[in-house]
Structure 1
Amino acid sequence: MLSKQVRLLVITGLSGAGKTQALQSLEDQGYFCVDNLPPSLILKFAELCTQSQGKVTRAAIVCDLRGGEFFSSLAEALGDLHREGFHYEILFLEASDEVLVGRYKESRRRHPLSPGGGILEGIQMERQMLTELRGVAHKIMDTSNLSSQQLRHQVAESFGNEQASGHLAVSVVSFGFKYAIPLDVDLLIDVRFLPNPFYVAELRPLTGEHPQVQDYIFSNPVAQEFVDKYLGLLEFILPYYVKEGKRHLVIGVGCTGGQHRSVAIAERIGLFLQERSYMMSVKHRDAARNRKGDKSK
């Protein structure tokens, strides 16, 4: 059985979304990697990995529309893997139309579905073709706002080092609802019910990372009780995510502007995870943006 010997990751998604960078990150993590493998060869590849006598313990392949007519058989190939008892995960990479168009213009490459031009039309056609595959993906990453280095880091965090507690990596992201909810959030917390430090003049220019802001927020009994109950919930459910085989969990913490309340709560969650030896990271997506002069929080 492959599930007992080899970790197999199938990388797919939109052209220009960063599949090459993702594969390079996995190669750095010790994965045996194959780019643009025809789906008809996936089962044979899996069988060869199991016959490597332990030399291949983690493998990653990229399958995308560069395979032309071969790509249409990917669903059938994945079905063959399942019927033969092989376990696999699908990583789906995507980005906004605007970002993808910009990347193609910068690279001066043609989109595989629009060899005669019309980059946007090709992207939209590809997005529609991949809708079903996206729906069965185990992990979806939106790379619109990620540099190549950030993407490689996220891939390594999700599928690389497995030495931390339970093999589960947890990312905590604070954000402002006014700037939209992060697309890859698994668990979402809305903390807009808490008192807002924005309306305290001396706290307004600070963020939830500052002790003064944290003292203001957590001096409220409701805030402290909420955090205690939520951390208790995490302590209960995280082992079950591990048991289920989940590798990466994203916790989104949102307030209006993403500068004060969400940042403070995210920091408290990060400390909780660190104390329990989970592989974790805390990112404040919108805190810096708000400090640059946005007046509405």
Structure 2
Amino acid sequence: MEFVIITGMSGAGKSQAINVLEDINFYCMDNLPPMLLPNFFELCKASTKKVDKVAVVVDIRGGVFFNDLFTSLNVLSQNGIKYSILYLEASDEELVKRYKELRRPHPLSPTRRIIDGIKEERNFLKEVKQKSNYIIDTTGLKLAKLKEEIQGIFVKGKTTHNMTITVMSFGYKYGIPYDSDLVFDVRFLPNPYYIEELKQLTGNDKEVQDYVMKYEISKNFLEKLIDMLEFLLPNYIREGKSNIVIAIGCTGGRHRSITIANRIAKHFGNENYRISLTHRDEKNNV
């Protein structure tokens, strides 16, 4: 039986994720107390109605019960029960925006600032994230794209590598992403920022892409970077790594880094890796 545990940041899209899994014939349970995971698995297994795909959401709403998660995961492992963890996250800014739009307090900070609860929760969940099999960053992600990513992971029949690659562009002026595994500095590439008609655009615009990639130094760098990653990724998989965050940084995170990140994501997506692409600082002011 396929057993999927969905967890992650509050407001990151876990409810949408479980709806997607329900649409592809998973039996789903939302907000299950972690201590009940082993019993719930056994109930599904013993059901007279055949249940071969199960997904449950475990999150901070479980309160103190969330501390039982690792105990339950150990019980599952000791009993030879295979499971996978799908972890959903989003940037602090995105989560604050979502909470404000819904006019709801964060479950960890009902009487404090929303950002305080987000930071506390992110710290609380960091060990869970490290143990996750799949990580999806939903920052700026439309529901259709989230559905596509989840189906790419769990719909059988499509051959994929057993690794999720998060490709993230960022600006050094705002700090290096704390969860990066590989960081590449592209500040040596020609900078569209100094071209007046390109300054307000981003690496998602064709004009910026054409400008960056018309230079031999950009083409050579991209080719060498892809060659190196094609060597590294299979070796990471061989060592059991199932998630990797590749961070591409330029000064502001809006032009060169986005251009290169898009090409890296496209290349390895075509190689049947599971790809999560996010542009952390795209909306920051020029």
Q: Normalising by the residue count of structure 1, what TM-score does the alignment of the two structures yield? A: 0.70
In the alignment, which residue of structure 1 is the partner of 2:143? Answer: 149
Say whether the 8 Å CA contact 2:6–2:87 is kept in structure 1: yes
In structure 2, stretches of 5+ residues that fail to align are none
Structure 1 partner of 2:153? 159
Structure 2 counterpart of 1:25 = 20
Does the Cα contact within 8 Å between 2:136 and 2:276 map onto a contact in 1? no
Report the equivalent of 2:34. 39
Deviation readout 1:168-196 (Å, 9 max, x if unpaired): 45453433333444566543321112333
Aligned residue runs from structure 1 range 1-297, under 5 A: 5-6=1-2, 8-50=3-45, 55-94=50-89, 103-104=98-99, 106-107=101-102, 109=104, 112=107, 117-118=111-112, 120=114, 126=121, 129-130=124-125, 132-134=127-129, 136-139=131-134, 141=136, 143=138, 145-146=139-140, 149=143, 152-153=146-147, 156=150, 159-161=153-155, 163-182=158-177, 185-199=180-194, 208=203, 209-210=206-207, 212-217=210-215, 219-220=216-217, 223-243=218-238, 249-273=244-268, 275-278=270-273, 280=275, 286=281, 289=283, 294=286
Question: What displacement does 1:43 show?
Answer: 1.0
Secondary structure at the aligned position of 1:74 is classed as helix
Which letter maps to 1:235? E
Aligned-pair distance for 1:122?
A: 5.8
My pick for the range that moved more, 35-44 or 231-240, is 231-240
Letter in 1 for 2:214: Y
SS in structure 2 at match of 1:258? coil
Q: 1:151 to 1:18 in 2, by over 3 A?
A: farther
Provide closer, same or farther for how the CA distance between residues 184 and 53 of structure 1 changes in structure 2, counting only shifts above 3 A: farther
Distance 1:189 1:50, change over 3 A: farther
Tell me if structure 2 keeps the 8 A contact 1:142–1:183: no
* Aligned equivalents of 1:98, 1:175: Cα separation in 2: 14
* TM-score between both structures, scaled by the size of structure 2: 0.72
Q: Which of 1 and 2 has greater Rg?
A: 1
1:34 to partner: Cα distance? 0.9
| Percent pairwise identity | 45
Tell me the SS of whatever aligns to 2:72: helix
Q: Report the CA distance between 1:235 and its aligned residue.
A: 1.9
How far has the Cα of 1:229 moved from its partner? Answer: 2.6
Q: Which amino acid aligns with 1:152?
A: L
- In the TM superposition, residue 278 of structure 1 has moved relative to its aligned partner by 4.1
Contact 1:168 1:247 in 2 (8 A): yes
The AA in structure 2 aligned to 1:78 is L
Cα displacement (A) at 1:150:
6.7
**Is the alpha carbon distance of 1:106 and 1:150 closer, same or farther for their aligned partners in structure 2, counting shifts above 3 Å?**
same
Q: Distance in 2 between matches of 1:205 and 1:254?
A: 18
Report how many aligned residue pairs link the two structures.
281
3-state SS of 2:54 partner: strand
- Which runs of 5 or more structure 1 residues have no equivalent in the other structure? none
